Amino acid sequence: MKFKVKNLQGEETGNLVASDYVWAAKPNESLLHQIVVSLQANKRRGTQDTQTRAEVTYSTRKIRSQKGTGSARLGSRRSPNMVGGGVAHGPHPRSYRQRIPKKMKRLALRISLSDKVRSKNLIVIDSLDIDKPDVSKFKNIRHKLGITGSTLIITENTNENIVKSVNGLFGVEVLHASLINSLETSSRRNIVITRPAVEKIDSIWSDLKD
């Protein structure tokens, strides 16, 4: 796989040869969907809760007479049928975690990256060095690279100046090359990645061949 490398002005500066194993994987939408759903489920905290009729605080006094009123036999304000009563079949704290096999997780990442390459939504830049946080500079970079829509920026190491710069931009996120997954890469329309980050991803995932 050969990538065209651009500078921050949008000009081509050379080529980069990358691993076909990582960047040219065969499409598999069903597997990618399965892993993305599992990763989304694993991010859920599962802390939502509702009160049952046994947990609602109300008087236990009988509301009205059992007979003679012509109305339903209501014995408690805690009933789910009453305003302020307990919730029937409501959510309670639980774990949504799903087990993801390592081989499937790795394959899904390679499929996601390869899909971006095939759709021409992946741009390789030579470097991304910023001395201080600057939102306007990032806006200018996106314009010169011709990027529109949500964007994931993948760097070879953590740079606080880059992170702080994109915090003011909607739909833009920065991620370390060793922390990417199929959920992050597939949920953004574009991927901007530095040359060292591509080399780092190759060194990590090419060595983990099935």
Residue 18 pLDDT: 93
H or E stretch at 161: helix 160-166
> Mean of the pLDDT values across residues 154-166?
88
Residue 209 pLDDT: 65
Residue 208 pLDDT: 66
> Mean of the pLDDT values across residues 59-84?
87
pLDDT digits (tens, 9 = 90+) for 168-193: 788 899 999 999 999 999 999 999 99
pLDDT at 198 over 70: yes
pLDDT at 210 over 60: no
Contact 18, 202 (CB under 8 A): yes
Residue with tokens 């302020």: 84
pLDDT digits (tens, 9 = 90+) for 137-150: 888 888 899 888 99
Burial of 153 (0-12, 13-18, 19+ CB in 10 A): buried
Q: Which of 186, 166, 146, 167 is nearest to 36 (CA)?
A: 186
DSSP E strands in the chain: the ranges are 2-6, 12-17, 122-125, 151-155, 172-176, 190-194
Residue 151 pLDDT: 94
> Mean of the pLDDT values across residues 116-138?
89
Q: Is residue 115 helix, strand or coil?
A: helix
Residue 142 pLDDT: 87
pLDDT digits (tens, 9 = 90+) for 3-52: 999 998 889 999 999 999 999 999 999 999 999 999 999 999 999 999 99
Q: Domains in the chain, start-ordered, CATH in brackets?
A: 2-29+97-208 (3.40.1370.10), 45-95 (no CATH)
